[in-house]
Amino acid sequence: MNRFAILRIIFTAILIVHCSYTWAQLHISATKGGDTTFAVFHQSMVSPILYDAADAEVVATAANHLADDLKNVTDYSPAINPDQFPQTAIIIGTIGKSQWIHKLIESGKLDVDNIEGKWESYLITTVENPLPGMDQALVIAGSDPRGTAYGVFRISEEIGVNPLYWWADIPIKKQKELHISGQTISSSPSVKYRGIFLNDEDWGLQPWAAGTLEPEFGDLGPKAYARIFELLLRLKANLIWPAMRYKTGAFFSYPENIAMAKKYDIVIGSSHSEPMLRNNVGEWNSKTMGEYNYLTNGKEIYNYWDQRVKESKGLESVYTLGMRGVHDTEIEGVNSAQDAVVLLEKIIADQREILKNQIGEDLSTIPQVFTAYKEVLQIYDEGLHLPEDITIVWPDDNYGYIRRLSDSEEAKRGGGSGIYYHASYLGRPHDYTWLSSTNPALIREEMMKAYEHNARNLWVLNVGDIKPLEYNLQFFLNMAYDISKFEEPESVFKHREKWSEHIFGQEYGMEISKILKEYDKLAFERRPEHMGWSMNEPKTPVQKTAYNHFFYGDEAQKRIDQYNDLEESVTRLRKKFNDDLSDAFYELVYYPVYACSQMNKKFLYRDKAYWYTLQNRSSASEYAEKSMQAYENIKAETEYYNEQLRGGKWNKIISMRQYGLAAFKAPDVPSTEIDSSSKWRILPEGWVNEDSILIPNKGGEFRLPPFNNLIEERYFIDVFLSGKSSLKWEITKAPKWLNVSQKNGSLQSKINKKDVRIWCSLNRDALPKKDKSGELIVEANGQIQTISVSYRHINKPDHNIDFIDSKGVLSIFAEHPSETSSDSFRTIEGLGHTGAALVNENNNPETASYLFETTTSSSDAKLIIYLLPTHPVNNTSELVFEVSIDDEPFKEIDFRTYGRSEAWKQNVLENSAKRTVNIGPLKSGDHKLQIRSANSNIFFDRFEIDIGDMVDAYRVIPETKITENR
């Protein structure tokens, strides 16, 4: 057994010990199951709820929500704290705070040894004769008030109230009976502080709250925060970084917000750019308070922080230390990172002095965090000294790849570490704040890695406007609460399957989870907001996409076809949900899928209009119209979401004009005037120059790419009108070994009738035993067009060769090695453009080999390697691997990027890191590619070997894997 296997067994054991939940022992049903079964709802009677008014406020909050939930499930409201003990009751309370829990413990009827003294734990059990005159009680006891609330909301979820019931309009199913048996004992959550950051809310959450939910308040206020805090408790989270953009009033400027945080016992923190719970954008007035520069205006700033800490007494808080600019900019007044180190150490010392004076002498009991975000990480690396009790919060790079985790020395710090992670982002190189587009498989991989590196003190997810990031928000917080359920990569897909089934039922749940899996895969390839190939900082206009329309089977059309399939599926399913589930389906599935599809079509159809105009196609104007229609479809669907869905409940929550970005504007479609004199033409796949203009070969004929018997391939021929006259076409000649998808038809000057795509593939039943060439002739309107076709018969290797070249390129998926030096290589499904990435999880040098054959020689071959754009795990590690061809000495490849370099920008926009290795001369014959890695944070996606004039592709080039039995 290798070291990695042993370590994984140990880690799994630790997870089981740390996160052992006995939820399976708690059973809720519509029928009585035995003597210890507790009747929550029976014969139109709902058991009353009993809690101690002297307990924490959040206990009363949770109890009242449970009462509402029971009313929604049964149509009957339970009594709360009746004057006399009822025959049965649901007793809710916190150890050390509830007289009822104390009496049960004192009488020996309730054993709380498994939760007492733990963080946010709870016990749910049935007790017989719990109190004088009471026959039976369902007891929910918490180790602390939030633990009690989590136990209460656990019952709510079990009886059918989804945590997202209000935020995603998930209907609550009615029950005729509710009985509960067994018990559950929860361990402490995996991560101590778990929550969300409301960010960039000025295009959704704030306008919705101010104009729709609470117009009388006119801002993101207590009603919105009540709904947000309720959601957090239902998801067993405990932390908020409040909204802080220009339009939003500072959280602390509204006493009602503070009261709401206390009511739900939510811990208040603040983002990386807002020290000491201050909202600089809304609270720092440079005209009256001076510049935000601690060197020149330190006293004013000190007093500014001191006042807020004084105001926060009595409110559970996590204090952000350090300092940046007023709003997410670099610290003012320093000329270098070294200068910043000196200043920040002074600032942190002063901030801790404030905490000591205002909160308490023992600073180790006051939660404090320092977030090494953007340039602050560089300052930290210059030698910034942080007191041991401060939690270091490591951020991702804003695009889902964690920049740093603690090394062995940092891991010893008493304050531990945490993670600030983005599922929504505004900034360079381009925003993604509209739709959910971060793959849950990536979230799982990065956050599991963080947990394994002891980042367990705080996890915060940037969720933008919350909608439409509902699933990723829940997925992230579920991981933070119980990491043991996510140890295996497959857990991502199992989680979504269960999530879909719980909401939409078993009949449709699996199909919906598959739809969303495909949606995530396409978004991983390119986020919808990035389809304009523009940038936000610096601001650049939209450009043509990098999808190739004329090679590799038309990459652009393949992507359109995939989205068409998704659209067809969600449109069909939407008709199935004509009941209460229709709105939930629209919000969680239909709108994201449909809107994303239309955004892709807007740009890809615009490109086709441009290219097809150059090729003199009559259909060019049609594609321009389709592009514009896609924009109008997004507009109409977004208006429906805001103005009609749920009677306008979500008005202003979704915007398709965010921040005036070019990607959201109407497409700049080209002029589509063409020369109609040529009547009709053809275009075989791959037969265009750089400007996409038709170029027949020297003999005046077109030629399809060559076929061979070892690879399953097909190529297209487009037949299209250049004029307005209708005509019939026919393939009058084709080799017997070639199949064509259509042999004749007509072209008409009507929508979708101006061109036809004919697919050519090998007729496997008539393959010649030797090389062949031939002609395919298309005839129309008394004219003919000839395409040369060729077939090469290659004897299948009688040894272990897995890949062969096609059209001058080999395409190899990393997940398909011919052999590996150990079993430490693992395939992680859901990562990478191929759909699965390969990683060596051993951290010892191991080799993956790929055996391939080239049918032609190359004087200057190149190897292109695609990886996930990860970062070194910590400051002592690297991103280095080695590569060798044909047992030549290994070459070292370093794909690390620094800061927000141009290479990093392209990496995150493409969700891929690319490295090219010059191989040099490569003879025809058998070869071996070897990849050697000793780094569990290097994820290999695919390899391409250019042995000819390889044409650029944006998508994955189809794998040139040898087909079996050929």
Round to whole Å and give the CA distance between 966 and 964.
6
Among 870, 886, 855, which Cα is nearest to 935's? 870
Q: Could you identify the residue written with the tokens 């919808």? A: 528
Whether 16 has a pLDDT exceeding 50, the answer reads no
Q: What's the pLDDT at 21?
A: 39
* pTM, two decimal places: 0.95
What's the mean pLDDT in 289-297?
96
Q: What's the pLDDT at 407?
A: 94
Q: What's the pLDDT at 122?
A: 98
Q: Which helix (H) or strand (E) holds 596?
A: helix 591-614
Task: Report the percent of the chain where pLDDT is more than 90.
Answer: 87
Round to whole Å and give the CA distance between 786 and 696.
10
Round to whole Å and give the CA distance between 89 and 137.
5
pLDDT tens by residue, 513-534: 999 999 999 999 999 999 999 9
Whether 18 has a pLDDT exceeding 70, the answer reads no
Assigned token pair, 237: 């989270």
Distance of CA 781 to the CA centre of its chain: 53
Q: Could you identify the residue written with the tokens 């307990």? A: 55
Q: Which helix (H) or strand (E) holds 930?
A: strand 925-933
Q: What's the pLDDT at 700?
A: 56
What's the mean pLDDT in 731-753?
96
From residue 87, give the alpha-carbon distance in Å to each of 43, 81, 100, 272, 494: 14, 13, 15, 53, 42
What's the mean pLDDT in 395-420?
96
Round to whole Å and give the CA distance between 806 and 947.
10
Assigned token pair, 564: 């068409």
pLDDT tens by residue, 461-489: 999 999 999 999 999 999 999 999 999 99
Whether 19 has a pLDDT exceeding 50, the answer reads no
Task: Report the percent of the chain where pLDDT is more than 70.
Answer: 95
Q: What's the pLDDT at 25?
A: 66
What's the mean pLDDT in 852-863?
95
Lowest-confidence segment of 27-31, 614-618, 811-815, 916-920 by average pLDDT: 27-31
Whether 51 has a pLDDT exceeding 90, the answer reads yes
Taking the CA atoms of 113, 118, 227 and 204 in sequence, report the sign of the dihedral they define: negative
Q: What's the pLDDT at 24?
A: 40
Round to whole Å and give the CA distance between 745 and 730.
7
Other beta carbons less than 10 A from residue 862's beta carbon:
17
Round to whole Å and give the CA distance between 120 and 149.
9
Task: Yes or no: say if 196 and 227 are a contact pair by the CB < 8 Å rule.
Answer: no
Whether 10 has a pLDDT exceeding 80, the answer reads no
Assigned token pair, 414: 């008493």
Round to whole Å and give the CA distance between 725 and 680.
9
Whether 689 has a pLDDT exceeding 70, the answer reads no
pLDDT tens by residue, 942-951: 999 999 889 9
Lowest-confidence segment of 288-302, 646-660, 688-702 by average pLDDT: 688-702
Q: What's the pLDDT at 697?
A: 44
Mean pLDDT of the chain: 93
Distance of CA 7 to the CA centre of its chain: 28
What's the mean pLDDT in 539-544?
93
Q: What's the pLDDT at 536?
A: 87
pLDDT tens by residue, 111-140: 999 999 999 999 999 999 999 999 999 999
**Buried residues in 214-239 as b, exposed as e (16+ CB within 10 A):** beebebbbbebbbbbbbbbbbbbbbb
Q: What's the pLDDT at 949?
A: 81
Q: Could you identify the residue written with the tokens 């939209």? A: 542
Instruction: List CB contacts of 888: < 8 A, sequence separation 6 or more.
Output: none
Q: What's the pLDDT at 323?
A: 95
From residue 954, give the alpha-carbon distance in Å to each of 11, 124, 535, 587, 591: 39, 54, 18, 31, 26
Of the pLDDT bands very low, low, confident and very high (cuts 50, 70, 90), residue 246 is confident
Whether 451 has a pLDDT exceeding 90, the answer reads yes
What's the mean pLDDT in 500-512?
96
Q: What's the pLDDT at 965?
A: 53
Q: What's the pLDDT at 27?
A: 77
What's the mean pLDDT in 296-323?
96
Whether 579 has a pLDDT exceeding 60, the answer reads yes
Instruction: List CB contacts of 635: < 8 A, sequence separation 6 or more.
Output: 656
